[in-house]
Amino acid sequence: MTSSGAPQDSGTTQRPILYRNGSVYSAADPFASAMLVDGGTVAWVGSEQAASSIADSRMDIIDLRGALVAPGFVDSHVHLTETGIALEGLKLSGVRSARELLDVLASSSADGTVLGHGWDETRWDTPDLPTAEEFERAARGRRVYLARIDSHSALVSAALIDDAGLKALDGYDGGPWVVRKAHTEARLGTRKQSAEDTRRYQSAALAEAAANGYVAVAEIAAPHIGGEDDFRIAAEWNRQSLPVPEILPYWGSLASSVEHARSIVESLGVPVLGLAGDLNIDGSIGSRTAALSEDYSDAAGHRGSLYVTKEEAAAHLAACSLLGIQGGFHIIGDAGLETALDALDLAADEVGGQRIRSAGHRFEHVEMPGPKALERLGKYSVTVSAQPVFDAAWGGDGGLYEQRLGERRHSMNPFASYYSAGVPVCFGSDSPVTPLRPWSSVRACLEHSNPQERISARAAFIGHTRAGWRASRSPNPLAGQLVPGAPASFAVWEVEELMVQVADTRVQSWSTDPRARTPLLPALDVGSDPRCLQTVREGTELFSTPELRA
């Protein structure tokens, strides 16, 4: 390990490692303070007193000095190349006006294509976007692609408009802002980098994930995001010996039959968990492309876009079910969800409800389900892959959801309702839409803008760990736990205090009854997230800070 936090050489023979004098989040012992890792497996968890009796010279011993060891996080929805581009490109989440955005663009010294991400006009002093003339002055003749925070629209320059042939496409209106087909082609027009550049972007994203306690990430890919070559590079990380989080690969091509689904999977040439990537049924709330059953509150007569019919979606789900792989869609709006649910019914009529349920289909986002929709999701055992920080970012008073949807915002991202209805839920970031910060995501579940939809820290933590493995149909029932025999995939966290946290702050508990066997989690109301000291995947160190072994 180097002082910069680089991982240990994964090729070296590792001795058993005893972690002691801390806290271990384990269902086997809610008050465990020590853990023994042997190879890629958790060999033992227990008390500090017991650790003293088993410690010997064969072991490396790490004094946790009060740190927490917890199962590693699984991010159930990321875009690796897009995340790497956002990390290296212009960072626009802090701009608060069109003028500031133009200043950032004009000050960029990039000579080639200028890439940026993160602007959100709903947080600006005024929501007016730059005019074509203003944007061109700042672009200075360069190809420019500046993605909105939701990555469903962008501001683009005349050079890119011409190169990508956007003028004749749906979603181009003569200005720099593009949506729908024009946005897709604009993004793809800037994603023609070399394989070496793609690996560099993905490597940066994986390093960011490892430094924040993730041991696995679900790559939710699709042709309109990066294309097959990009996806193959992402999936290939699992075949390399480099110490990175595991890739859970999903691809988003629409299948019309079981033969078509099989041909798609075979043509990719890399393992794929399912045709359940970002296969868009609709778009996003921020770009007003999510399909709604009623008008947008700030755009009368506008209800978004549907990109897939219920018949097409049904054929896709039936094909995936027959092939025995997961199918799924990107779904945001309630009309989009209704299309997907109707498709489930049609697919069940064709191949049988049990075959639909056993396939383990997953829907991404699903922000606007009503009670009947929740019941239908539960009927088919569809897993919802949700993003809690969406609510933290946009669900509050005066935020994006209220601007776009009015009172409908109160029923969005209903985490507690998912659990009550028996709908399987896993959590992710949709990075680069929201950052790779898992504890911020757990906190967002505790502090949902609608108090009735809050869940406990324990439920949120499981949604970010064990549930992520279940959603990917992991064959190991112990994945996401720290119990003897489980994979040694975990993170070590510097914490201020530990507690049991429930959704209702009136009954917050600072300790736990041993009979309840409830492990403790970091207090998340202290103003900052826990700091990651080490991330380990199946015994291999992915990230470490120097002070861990100081």
> Is it the case that residue 286 has pLDDT exceeding 50?
yes
Q: For 162-218, what is the HEC assignment?
A: HHHCCCCCCCECCCCEEEHHHHHHHHHHCCCCCHHHHHHHHHHHHHHHHCCCEEEEE
What is the reported pLDDT for 510? 39
Q: Is residue 470 part of a domain?
A: no
Rounded CA separation 77/431 (Å):
7
Alpha carbons within 13 angstroms on the beta-carbon side of residue 489 total 23
Residues 40 and 172 in one domain: no
Rounded CA separation 427/445 (Å):
10
**Per residue in 240-269, pLDDT tens?**
999 999 999 999 999 999 999 999 999 999
Q: Are 294 and 272 a contacting pair, CB within 8 Å?
A: no
Residues 168 and 191 in one domain: yes
What is the reported pLDDT for 511? 41
Using CB atoms within 10 Å of the CB of residue 304, give its burial: 0 to 12 exposed, 13 to 18 middle, 19+ buried.
buried
What is the reported pLDDT for 527? 77
Q: Is residue 65 part of a domain?
A: yes
**Per residue in 385-436, pLDDT tens?**
999 999 999 999 999 999 999 999 999 999 999 999 999 999 999 999 999 9
Q: What percent of the chain has pLDDT over 70?
A: 95
> Is it the case that residue 506 has pLDDT exceeding 50?
no
Query: Which of 247, 224, 253 has the alpha carbon at shortest distance from 234?
Result: 247
**Per residue in 163-176, pLDDT tens?**
999 999 999 999 99
Q: Is residue 544 part of a domain?
A: yes
3-state secondary structure of 255: coil
Q: What percent of the chain has pLDDT over 90?
A: 91
Q: What is the DSSP letter of 427?
A: E
User: Can you tell me the mean pLDDT for 278-290?
Assistant: 97
Confidence of residue 519 (pLDDT cuts 50, 70, 90): confident
**CATH number of the domain where residue 239 is located:** 3.10.310.70
> Is it the case that residue 9 has pLDDT exceeding 50?
no
Residues 101 and 117 in one domain: yes
> Is it the case that residue 512 has pLDDT exceeding 60?
no
Q: Is residue 127 part of a domain?
A: yes
Q: Is residue 236 part of a domain?
A: yes
Q: Is residue 372 part of a domain?
A: no
Residues 240 and 230 in one domain: yes
What is the reported pLDDT for 111? 86
State how many domains the chain has.
2
Q: Which of 208, 235, 250 is the last residue of a domain?
A: 250
Beta bridge pairs of residue 114: 144
Does this model's pTM top 0.95? My answer is no
What is the reported pLDDT for 399? 96
Residues 35 and 150 in one domain: no
Q: Is residue 111 part of a domain?
A: yes
Look-up of token digits 């009796």: 53
Rounded CA separation 496/369 (Å):
37
Residues 31 and 132 in one domain: no
Rounded CA separation 356/339 (Å):
16
Confidence of residue 507 (pLDDT cuts 50, 70, 90): very low
User: Can you tell me the mean pLDDT for 461-465?
Assistant: 98
Confidence of residue 128 (pLDDT cuts 50, 70, 90): very high
What is the reported pLDDT for 517? 62
> Is it the case that residue 524 has pLDDT exceeding 80?
yes
What token pair was written down for 360?
Answer: 């383990």
Residues 160 and 34 in one domain: no
Q: Is residue 283 part of a domain?
A: no
Rounded CA separation 257/263 (Å):
10
Confidence of residue 513 (pLDDT cuts 50, 70, 90): very low
Residues 57 and 198 in one domain: no
Rounded CA separation 308/144 (Å):
30
> Is it the case that residue 514 has pLDDT exceeding 70?
no
Confidence of residue 200 (pLDDT cuts 50, 70, 90): very high
Confidence of residue 516 (pLDDT cuts 50, 70, 90): low
Task: Quickly list H helices, 247-387.
Answer: 258-268, 310-323, 334-351, 353-358, 371-379
3-state secondary structure of 408: helix
Q: Give me the amino acid identity at 174.
A: G
Sign of the alpha-carbon dihedral angle for 289, 136, 194, 214: negative
Residues 185 and 44 in one domain: no
Query: Which of 434, 432, 523 has the alpha carbon at shortest distance from 201?
Result: 432
**CATH number of the domain where residue 21 is located:** 2.30.40.10
Query: Which of 73, 70, 29 has the alpha carbon at shortest distance from 51?
Result: 29
> Is it the case that residue 132 has pLDDT exceeding 80?
yes
Confidence of residue 472 (pLDDT cuts 50, 70, 90): very high
Domain of 40? 17-71+489-495+530-549
What is the reported pLDDT for 504? 58
Average model confidence (pLDDT) across the chain: 94
**Per residue in 19-60, pLDDT tens?**
999 999 999 999 999 999 999 999 999 999 999 999 999 999
User: Can you tell me the mean pLDDT for 468-487?
Assistant: 97
Confidence of residue 272 (pLDDT cuts 50, 70, 90): very high
What is the reported pLDDT for 186? 97
Q: Which of 250, 272, 300 is the last residue of a domain?
A: 250
Residues 211 and 81 in one domain: yes
What is the reported pLDDT for 10? 44
Q: Are 304 and 282 a contacting pair, CB within 8 Å?
A: yes
Confidence of residue 13 (pLDDT cuts 50, 70, 90): low
Residues 125 and 227 in one domain: yes
* Lowest model confidence (mean pLDDT) among 7-16, 203-212, 223-232, 305-314: 7-16
Q: Which of 227, 250, 273 is the last residue of a domain?
A: 250
User: Can you tell me the mean pLDDT for 520-526?
Assistant: 89
User: At a CB cut-off of 8 Å and minimum separation 6, what does 447 contact?
Assistant: 392, 454
What is the reported pLDDT for 343? 98
Query: Which of 115, 123, 108 has the alpha carbon at shortest distance from 89?
Result: 115
Residues 228 and 106 in one domain: yes
User: Can you tell me the mean pLDDT for 360-372?
Assistant: 98
